[in-house]
């Protein structure tokens, strides 16, 4: 009886030790896991606080134009100020405005007239830059700009000394008179080219009657 009791006690002790052996590492691992979780959360909080601090620091800084980019004076003078930054026109911007279209945008009526004249008249066999008739010469041919078409009309006389355009007086303007000429051989554009339709002719007449504004 005593021996049996002793054996049971030994067996119970072994079982307890075995349980302690397996339970111990788990508790240790649990403590280690909690330790790392605390460290990770602490580092995340530190990163969050640092990020907020950087945002406040950047918000308090006033941006300045970077050297060599738009908004920098030397860049604007060299390449023009046409995007963002300082809205003050650069020297080159002013110079371009003075040369394009006589310093301003072409007048809407003149645009209609020029767009009608360019494909019909600004060709080498008619009034192009290389072979022109009647002292009516359009430089640039079919690629003529509004400035080039203006230069062929403004204060220019035909070979006979007649004004191509007399501002305010269509009937004294050779441009208009030749568009409505009854003789097909005198009319412009000449046969076999098609004559301008009534809408285009009226556009030319109205433009001249309004004083032939170019811009």
Which residues of the chain carry a pLDDT beneath 50?
1-10, 12-38, 40, 54, 63-72, 74-76, 78-102
30 and 93 fall within a common domain: no
56 and 71 fall within a common domain: no
Among the candidates 60, 78, 94, a domain finishes at 60
Rounded to 5 degrees, φ, ψ at 132 are: -115, 155
Q: How far apart are CA 150 and CA 82, in angstroms?
A: 27
Angle between helical axes of 146-153 and 108-121 (0-180°, round to 10) = 80
At 172 the pLDDT is 95
pLDDT tens profile 80-101: 444 444 444 443 443 334 334 4
Question: Bridge partners of 136?
Answer: 133
The candidate with the shortest Cα–Cα distance to 97, out of 118, 108, 81, 113, is 81
178 and 155 fall within a common domain: yes
Please state, as a whole number, how many other Cβ atoms lie within 10 Å of the Cβ of residue 206: 13
Q: How far apart are CA 144 and CA 108, in angstroms?
A: 17
At 117 the pLDDT is 85
Residue 214 lies in a domain: no
Please state, as a whole number, how many other Cβ atoms lie within 10 Å of the Cβ of residue 212: 23
- Evaluate the CA torsion angle 120, 124, 128, 133 in order and state its sign: negative
Rounded to 5 degrees, φ, ψ at 133 are: -115, 145
Domain containing residue 188? 105-209
Residue 215 lies in a domain: no
Residue 117 lies in a domain: yes
Q: How far apart are CA 166 and CA 157, in angstroms?
A: 10
At 111 the pLDDT is 96
At 75 the pLDDT is 39
97 and 121 fall within a common domain: no
SS3 160: coil
111 and 90 fall within a common domain: no
At 169 the pLDDT is 97
Residue 164 lies in a domain: yes
């Amino acid at each position: 009886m005593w021996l049996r009791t002793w054996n049971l006690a030994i067996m119970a002790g072994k079982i307890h030790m075995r349980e302690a052996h397996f339970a111990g590492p788990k508790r240790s691992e649990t403590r280690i896991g909690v330790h790392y979780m605390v460290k990770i959360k602490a580092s995340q909080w530190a990163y969050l606080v640092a990020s907020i601090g950087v945002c406040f620091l950047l918000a308090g800084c006033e941006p300045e134009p970077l050297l060599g980019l738009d908004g920098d004076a030397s860049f604007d003078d060299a390449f023009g100020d046409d995007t963002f930054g300082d809205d003050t026109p650069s020297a080159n911007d002013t110079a371009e405005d003075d040369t394009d279209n006589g310093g301003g945008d072409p007048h809407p009526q003149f645009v209609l007239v020029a767009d009608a004249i360019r494909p019909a008249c600004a060709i080498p066999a008619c009034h192009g830059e290389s072979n022109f008739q009647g002292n009516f010469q359009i430089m640039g041919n079919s690629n003529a700009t509004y400035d080039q078409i203006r230069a062929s009309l403004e204060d220019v006389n035909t070979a006979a000394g007649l004004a191509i355009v007399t501002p305010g007086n269509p009937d004294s303007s050779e441009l208009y008179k030749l568009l409505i000429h009854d003789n097909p051989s005198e009319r412009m554009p000449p046969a076999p080219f098609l004559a301008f339709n009534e809408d285009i002719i009226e556009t030319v007449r109205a433009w001249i009657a309004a004083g032939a504004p170019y811009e």
